[in-house]
Amino acid sequence: MADTPLISMRNIVKRFPGVTANDQINLDLYPGQVHALLGENGSGKTTLMSILTGLYRPTEGTISVNGQEKKFTSPRDAIDNGIGMVHQHFKLIESFTVAENIALSQISNSFLLSQDAVVDDITKLGEKYGMVVNPKSYVWQLSVGEKQRVEILRMLYRNSKVLILDEPTAVLTPQETRELFANLRKMANDGCAVVFISHKLNEVLELADQITVLRSGKVVGCFGRNDTNRYGLIEMMIGRDINVNKSNNKQEQSLGEVILEVNNISALNDVGTLGLNGMSLNVKAGEIYGIAGVSGNGQRELAEVLAGLRPATCGSIKFKGEEIIGMSPKAMIERGISYVPEDRLGMGLVPNLDASENVILKEYGTSKYSNSWKVNKTAAIKATEAIVKKFDVRMGSIFQPVKMMSGGNLQKLLLGREIASHPKLMIVLYPVRGLDIGAIESVHKLLLQLKKENTAIILVSEELEEIAELADRVGVIFSGKILGEFPVSAMDTELVGSLMAGITENKEDMV
């Protein structure tokens, strides 16, 4: 490792009205090193990286590149100094080709670029780093893993030496994750400094050379991978000990009757092609049925069909023996079907409404919350206060817009609202996506409590570890079908990963 850091951030302070997001942070990034950045939501990770990529200017402190102090007034300044970032939500233009997306980042005095030269450069970069993607393909034609490759290739194409990746494995299969890790290590070996932001401690301990932990805007630890362990990282991140062996929380219980029977369901997705293609599954009372798969393989379409938000083109869905295909969302809710969408602040909750208004969103027209034509505000406030207390939802006030809340508290409010309605079936999509380890623990406890109350739960997750900890059975979804189904006790990570990628050669091993 070089003696001089590629990037040196010194005494970085960033203040927003009423809050100090970064407080006297020091961070050194060396060429040839993979540096992991850990911390709960709100710990200051994103703000710090936003300063490094020129999106924010620090209130105090300095940034040096190769020993020379720099002032970044825009993202272009950061790019000019070899700093690039792959965001959790990709910044690609779907209707452009791979080559066109990458060429957009080219700095040139000429407004004309040679398409053939760009294609040739992308091909060579892809082959060098094991990230092959067709430069002439349109982005909308690519898988999520391929889109991520395009984002990384775009950084390499403009000769970035500092590569920042925000939660890069959130949408990848286990095999794709291993490939990504191998490629990141190859980039580090070529002299890049790789910053890896993740909530997955096992991945951090596997990949990182150096680990920096942030809490409440401050650095609370910086050490080599071999100088710490999972338990030490957790305690440092959240300042307290938590039950990291969550599997002990999943107590064995006898399952009840079949609540949901889905037989040969098909449905169109938003672009008019088959999102569900002959899907079949069943779930019992008190059972958590985990659906594993890479996002975009029919998970959302299945959830929306079950919630009455999307029509099925064929098949049968029976809820407690009653055929429910074609029923309205209101009829589904009345029968005890609850849906927690992945977009918690777009579809699950209304950002500009306060907590009490969001709590009654699905029931404001019932006698529980209305007197004839007028909403019973007192009942709404009482119900909201009960949910906030029971589910430990932290906010300034129940009367402030929910868009002011953190991701973990938004999820607890959303789950609390749904649980308070005592559902018979709950469909939950990616309940801990983007949450820190403390919030994940809280959300998992809520789901396990619901299981104890004999609710049937469909848990859609990209995290095999989460499914192993919570679910009784797992179904692997690919291209709108369940390709394999296992008791969690018999789940094989390699086989599940292969099925997530649509590889079914080992079909005889399925149970």
pLDDT at 208: 93
Could you tell me the maximum CA-CA distance found in the chain, to the nearest angstrom? 74
The rounded distance, in Å, linking the Cα atoms of 403 and 208 is: 34
Task: Determine the topology of domain 7-238 in CATH.
Answer: Rossmann fold (3.40.50)
Rg for the chain (alpha carbons), in Å?
A: 24
- Contacts of residue 474, defined as CB under 8 A and 6 or more positions apart, other chains included, come to 289, 290, 291, 292, 467, 485, 486, 488, 491, 496
Task: Give 97's DSSP letter.
Answer: B
Instruction: Please tell me the CATH superfamily of domain 246-509, with its number.
Output: P-loop containing nucleotide triphosphate hydrolases (3.40.50.300)
Integer angstrom CA distances of residue 420 from 152, 383, 403, 415, 453: 44, 9, 21, 8, 12
Alpha helices in 135-281 (DSSP H): 144-157, 174-189, 201-207, 230-238
- Contacts of residue 208, defined as CB under 8 A and 6 or more positions apart, other chains included, come to 34, 35, 36, 196, 225
3-state DSSP percent of the chain in helix, strand and coil, to 5 = 35, 25, 40
Q: Which residues of 40-99 form beta strands (DSSP E)? A: 60-65, 68-70, 83-86
User: What b/e readout covers 47-58, taking b as 16+ CB neighbours within 10 angstroms?
Assistant: bbbbbbbbebeb
What is the value of pTM for the model shown? Answer: 0.64
- Contacts of residue 435, defined as CB under 8 A and 6 or more positions apart, other chains included, come to 41, 199, 407, 408, 411, 443
In this structure, the strands spanning 314-319 and 258-268 are antiparallel
Residues 121, 125, 127, CA angle at the centre, nearest 5°?
120
Task: Give 233's DSSP letter.
Answer: H
Mean pLDDT by 10-residue block, N- to C-terminus, for the chain (511 residues)?
A: 84 86 94 90 83 93 93 91 84 89 69 74 87 88 81 88 85 78 90 86 88 90 87 74 49 83 92 88 95 84 93 95 92 92 83 90 78 82 90 84 81 87 91 75 88 94 86 92 91 82 58 37
pLDDT at 397: 86
Q: Both tokens of residue 21?
A: 């997001």
- Contacts of residue 189, defined as CB under 8 A and 6 or more positions apart, other chains included, come to 32
Are 437 and 40 within 8 A, CB to CB? yes
Nearest to 37 by CA among 154, 173, 161, 168: 168
pLDDT at 508: 42
The rounded distance, in Å, linking the Cα atoms of 311 and 267 is: 7
Task: Give 132's DSSP letter.
Answer: -
Q: Would 7-238 and 246-509 be classified into the same CATH topology?
A: yes
Give all strands of the β-sheet with 456-461 in edge-to-edge order: 337-340, 425-429, 456-461, 288-292, 473-478, 481-487
SS3 169: coil
Element (H, E) at 9: strand 7-16
pLDDT at 465: 83
Domain boundary assignment for the chain: 7-238, 246-509
pLDDT at 59: 94
pLDDT at 220: 92
pLDDT at 476: 92
The rounded distance, in Å, linking the Cα atoms of 329 and 306 is: 9
pLDDT at 502: 79
